Chain A
C-alpha cells in the first residue's frame, strides 16, 4: 500500500490539517469537522491518516475509525477522478433511476461503490441530493445532470473520457 504521506504535497496538506485542528476550541467535539477537512485535503481517509488524527487529538484510534466507518460521507478508499453519484431518492426512483444506474454500472463495468481500474470513475449511489425537480438526477463531482435517461449514459461517459484525452 502506498503511504499517503509519501505523496506529492503531503507536507503542505498535513500543515493545513494541523492548522485547522489548532483552530478548533473543543477538539474532541470537532472530530467530524476535522475528518471533513482531512478528506477534503487528501481525497479519502486511509487508516494511516485516521491514526494521525487520533494521535493529534490524543483520542483512541478506534474512536476515529468508529466515526469514519459510521458515516457514509467518509471514504476509506481512494476514489476515482470523477465520482458518479446516482441519486437514489424517492423522486428519482419513481422516475426510473434504476435503469440509469444499471446503464452506468454496465458501461463502466463496475458495481456501485467501486472504482474503474484506470482510476477515472467511481460509481456511487447517494440518498437524495434535493434536486427532485430534475429527477432522475446524476451528479458527477459537483456537476448535476437532470432528467437523465439510460440513453444519455454513454454520451456522458464519453464526454468525460474525451475531456481526459484532450487534457492528457
Chain B
C-alpha cells in the first residue's frame, strides 16, 4: 500500500458541481499523474462544505488550506505551487469582506468560527460515496450500540431525554413521535424519511444527503429498531438527482456490509430501505400528503387524526421524520442525551442548520446552536449585507413563515421565540433582504407560490390564497384601496383557522407578518402609489440618464409637481419620492435623457 502524503478535497455538492467541480477533480488527477504524483496525492470528492457562495471549494489536507472560487485554470498552479513546491497560492485564499485579509485556514474564518456542526458533521470531511470513510468517523457505531446493547424502549428514552425536535419545521419532539409509533400493535410498521425539501430557499437536506447519506440511513435503521419497523422509505424530490444517486450508492454499500438487511449486527433485527421519488408538489412535505404520494396517489393531505403513528402508509403505523432530524440521531446515541441537551435553549436543544442566502456576503449552509441571535448569523457568520447596504428584514420559515426586522435581530432564535415574533423556524431557509426589496412584493411572491402549490382539496386554501394573491397584485400595481388591507387581514385569519393542512394554515403568514412590520410600505403603495423600495415595476418612477442630460431645463419647466431640480447646463435630478409618473418630462426631453420606467 502506498502512503498518501496529501489529500486534495474537492467539493462535490450541487453548488460547486454546477461550477465544474467534477471537471476540476478530473483535471487534478490528470495533472498529478503528469508530474508523477498520482500515488502520493489523493483527490477526493467530498460533500458540501457549506460555503456555497465561494464555490468551487478545494481544501488541501493535512496543510489545512482552503481555496475558494477555484476554476479549471487554477488547477495547474495549485499542483505546481502548492503540491510540488509547498507554497500556498495566495490569490485563491478567502478574504474577509471587512479586513480583506486572506485566510488560509477555514477555522479562522468568521463564517465557520461560530458554527457548531452536528447534523453537518461529516459534510466536506468524508467521501460520501465510500462507506468506509463514514465508518472511520464512527459511522454505524450508534446502530450497533442500539441493537446489541439497548432495548427499543431505552433508545426512545435517550432520544426523548436529548430534547431533539423535528427539524422540518413543526418542532414536534422526536422521541415522543417514536414512542407513539411504537405503542400500537401491528404486523408491519414503517419508517419514512421526508426528503421532499420544498421550501424555496432551503437546501440543507439536500446537502446532508449528498454529503453524508449514511448518517440518514443509520438513523432510519435506529428508528426502525425503536418503533419495531423492518422497512424504511426515503421520499425524495426528483429535482435532486445527485442526492438520489448518492443514496442509491450508500444503500447498496450498507447492504453489502450487512448494515442493512437481515440480522443486523448479529441480532434478530431486520431493516431495509427503499427510495421513492416525488414529482414536484410542495404539499407532499406534509406528512399525510407525503404518505399518499408514496402510495402512488395524488399527494393530497387528509385530516388528522388519525395520525400516521396510528394509521399511516398502507394503513400501518408510520413514523415520518425529516432528513436533518435523522442526521442528529447517531451522535445522540454515541455522546448521550446529556451532551445534546446541554446545547441550545431551554426548550429547543441542539443545533439548527440554516440556508443563509439573499443579500448577504457569505451565502451558504450554517449550523449554529439554538439560541444564537440573528445578528450573529447575519453579521458575524454571514459577513453583513452585500455592498454595505442597509439591512431591512430576514425571512425565515419560507412560505409558512414571516419577516423579522432590525428590532428583533438580537432575539435568540429557537422554535418558540420565532413563533412569538410572527415567524417560524420552518425548515431553515433564511433569506436576507436589504432596502431595495419591497415587502409587499415579497408577500406577493410567497402567495403566488402557495396558491400555485395549493392542492385544491379544501376551499379556504384553494380560493382564499388566490384572492389574497389577487389583492396583493392589485396593490403592487398601484390599484389597491384601504379596504384591501382589511380584506387581507380577515381572509388571512379565516384561512389560518379553517384550512385542512399545514400548507393552508400557514400560507397567510408572510402577508400578516409584513402587514404588521411594514404597514407603512403597504400604505405608500395604496395612498401615494409609490413603492418605497423602488422594486414594483408598475409604480416605478422616471429617471434622468446622467450621461445624456445637457442641462437644458426643459423637463424641469414642464414638471407639474416641480420634482426636477438642477441649474442650467448642469445634470438634472428627479426626486422619485415626489414624482407622479405623468411622463411630461419624457415627452419634453429632446436628448432621450429621461428613462421611462
Chain A residues with a Cβ under 8 A of chain B = 28-33, 35-36, 63, 66-67, 70-74, 88-91, 93-95, 126-135, 137, 142-144, 146
Contact = CB atoms under 8 A, between A and B. Distances in A.
Contact of B298 (A67, A94, A146): A67
A93 B359 CA distance: 11
A135 B449 CA distance: 18
A32 B203 contact: no
Contacts of A131: 14-15, 18, 52, 203
B317 interface: no
B296 A36 contact: no
Contact of A90 (B240, B358, B453): B358
A36 B279 CA distance: 8
Contacts of B433: 94
Interface stretch (B150-158, B192-200, B218-226, B477-485): B192-200
Interface string B281-322: 110000000000111111110000000000000000000000
B357 A73 contact: no
B18 A146 contact: yes
A133 B55 contact: yes
A73 B279 contact: yes
Interface in B187-238: 197-203, 206, 238
Contacts of B337: none
Given A131-B14, A132-B52, A132-B355, A29 B280 contact: no
Contact of A89 (B200, B276, B281, B364): B200
Nearest to A39: B279
A127 B449 contact: yes
Nearest to B429: A90
Contacts of A143: 18
Contacts of A70: 281, 298-300, 455
B214 to A, nearest CB: 20
Interface in B23-78: 52-53, 55
Given A32-B296, A90-B431, A130-B203, 14 more contacts: A29-B296, A90-B201, A93-B445, A94-B437, A128-B202, A130-B202, A131-B52, A132-B201, A132-B203, A133-B15, A134-B18, A135-B358, A135-B363, A137-B18
Nearest to B293: A32
Contact of B364 (A30, A67, A133): A133
Contacts of A142: 241
Given A94-B433, A134-B52, A127 B364 contact: no
A32 B276 CA distance: 8
Contacts of A93: 200, 442, 445
A51 B230 CA distance: 35
A31 B292 CA distance: 12
A130 B197 contact: yes
A74 B279 CA distance: 7
Interface residues of B, number: 52
B197 A127 contact: no
Contacts of B431: 90-91, 94
B282 A127 contact: yes
B169 to A, nearest CB: 15
B234 to A, nearest CB: 13
Contact of B357 (A63, A71, A72, A132): A132
Interface of B: 14-15, 18-19, 52-53, 55, 197-203, 206, 238-241, 276-282, 293-300, 355, 357-359, 363-364, 395, 398, 429, 431, 433, 437, 442, 445-446, 449, 453, 455
A71 B279 contact: yes
A24 B333 CA distance: 36
Nearest to B456: A70
A133 B358 contact: no
B200 A71 contact: no
Contacts of B294: 29
Contacts of B199: 128
B53 A133 contact: yes
19 contacts: A29-B294, A29-B295, A35-B279, A36-B277, A70-B298, A70-B300, A71-B299, A89-B201, A90-B431, A90-B445, A127-B449, A129-B239, A130-B206, A132-B203, A132-B355, A133-B364, A137-B18, A142-B241, A146-B15
7 smallest CB-CB distances across A and B, nearest first, come from A133-B52, A144-B18, A71-B279, A130-B203, A73-B280, A89-B200, A91-B357
A137 B200 CA distance: 13
Contacts of B364: 133
Contact of A133 (B239, B357, B398, B449): B357
A74 B198 CA distance: 17
A126 B358 contact: no
Given A70-B455, A90-B395, A131-B52, A95 B358 contact: yes
B296 A31 contact: yes
B14 A72 contact: no
Given A72-B280, A134-B19, A126 B201 contact: no
B440 to A, nearest CB: 14
Given A70-B281, A73-B279, A134 B201 contact: no
A89 B446 CA distance: 10
Contact of B200 (A30, A36, A72, A90): A90
Nearest to B537: A98
A142 B245 CA distance: 15
A33 B18 CA distance: 26
B298 A66 contact: yes
Contact of A33 (B14, B201, B277, B358): B277
Contacts of B203: 128, 130-132
Contacts of A28: 295-296
A126 B279 CA distance: 12
Nearest to A33: B277
**In this complex, which of B14, B278, B293, B300 has the most chain A Cβ atoms within 10 angstroms of its Cβ?**
B14
Contacts of A128: 198-203
A90 B295 CA distance: 30
Nearest to A129: B239
Q: Interface centre among A30, A67, A70, A130, by most B CB within 10 Å? A: A130
A148 to B, nearest CB: 12
| A32, A36, A71, A73 interface centre (most CB from chain B within 10 Å) | A32
B281 A72 contact: yes
Given A29-B296, A71-B299, A133-B357, A127 B19 contact: no
A110 B15 CA distance: 29
